[in-house]
Chain A
């Protein structure tokens, strides 16, 4: 009876349904639809070893992890194989220590206060919900020209 009770008491959400930390997910948009950019490279300015998030890859969305030691983070979008110059998006944000759950653990959330971008291939950037959590949903819309 006690074993049954122990099993019942442990019934709950044993798996973390989101990411292990707050990571912004950005989608490339044309109007209301997602668009896939081919041969795209995305990297953070100042990332160790010049590492890229994606390199020469087709993508319709990309994660842009924020630094947890700085409150500003810039990403470069390199449209390889085209004559279009690179675009840069800069985010200014707050870092929020956050405990999500026993299953997901402790992490950082982010609140984006402002953002800037160049407009070589980008038309505009919109962030309807500036709070970045571990939920796996698009929070940044990058509208292409």
Chain B
């Protein structure tokens, strides 16, 4: 008798063991987030998306957490489209530098293609000129208005942020072909009591150089931005003349100088704006998707 009862209990337990997993597979489990001790409903973090809040309220925490993780990853790794924006720039830094005594100027237009808000190929076309009669020296140097070209790329360190704020490093390869005159030359030869007077007119030369640079770009209003660049450069190759070396190279600056500085005004044309990542306004706790109206989180009771 006792043995038969024990046998029935064992049979029931075995049947339950088989049936339980089958019952569990019938539908996904939905759990309302409650703290076991207080029985209080957990509220999602402040600023959580409306869609996720609704998922929490309906008890679909699995889906809500998956979406939260996806959004969180998107914040950490915002993905800008391949063609993010095109910037057209005017470098007028030398105009300011001339006010501080610089005797040469290079002005250039640049086109920068911002790719993934990270890599930025740059093409620069410009014109440069110089005019200098140094005190206590025996010549006047005139660098004729001549063209120069630069090709290079930037790497934007703030690629996770809005493209209107950029901190970047870059490289450039520059080339210029140019002419210059050196006039009013007087050379004295005290021992022989002679004075030589001559001019070097229409001397042609060319130069190939490289630059390393660091830059900052800040949006000022609408699609306009200002940029500052500090450059360290060196000559790779230059045409040698019997009559000497140039003092000024368009786009490079003084031949013996190693540093240069640039200020540019940019106009930016956004590309594929609809594919830019979501921009979040932290102060207002609102989310804005590509300029559409903000989504307000539900008010708590």
Contacts and interface: CB of A to CB of B under 8 A. Distances in A.
Contacts of A9: 97, 102, 253-254, 257, 259-261
Size range of the interface on B? Answer: 35 or more
Contacts of A97: 185, 196, 198, 200, 243
A3 B134 CA distance: 21
Contacts of A96: 242-243
Interface stretch (A105-113, A115-123, A137-145): A105-113
Contacts of B198: 97, 106
A10 to B, nearest CB: 7
Size range of the interface on A? Answer: 20 to 34
A48 B134 CA distance: 31
Interface stretch (A33-41, A63-71, A82-90): A63-71
B185 A6 contact: no
A10 B200 CA distance: 25
Choose among A47, A102, A103 the residue with the greatest number of B CB atoms under 10 Å from its CB: A102
A106 B187 contact: yes
A101 interface: yes
Interface in A27-57: 44, 47-48, 51, 53
Given A3-B100, A48-B192, A65-B192, A101 B137 contact: no
A68 B257 contact: no
Interface string B54-83: 000000000000000000000000000000
Nearest to B104: A9
Contacts of A47: 191-193
Interface string B183-204: 0010101011110101010000
A12 interface: yes
Contacts of A21: 187, 189
20 contacts: A2-B97, A3-B100, A6-B101, A6-B102, A9-B253, A11-B257, A11-B258, A21-B189, A44-B192, A47-B192, A48-B193, A67-B189, A67-B194, A97-B243, A101-B247, A102-B134, A102-B247, A105-B134, A105-B139, A106-B139
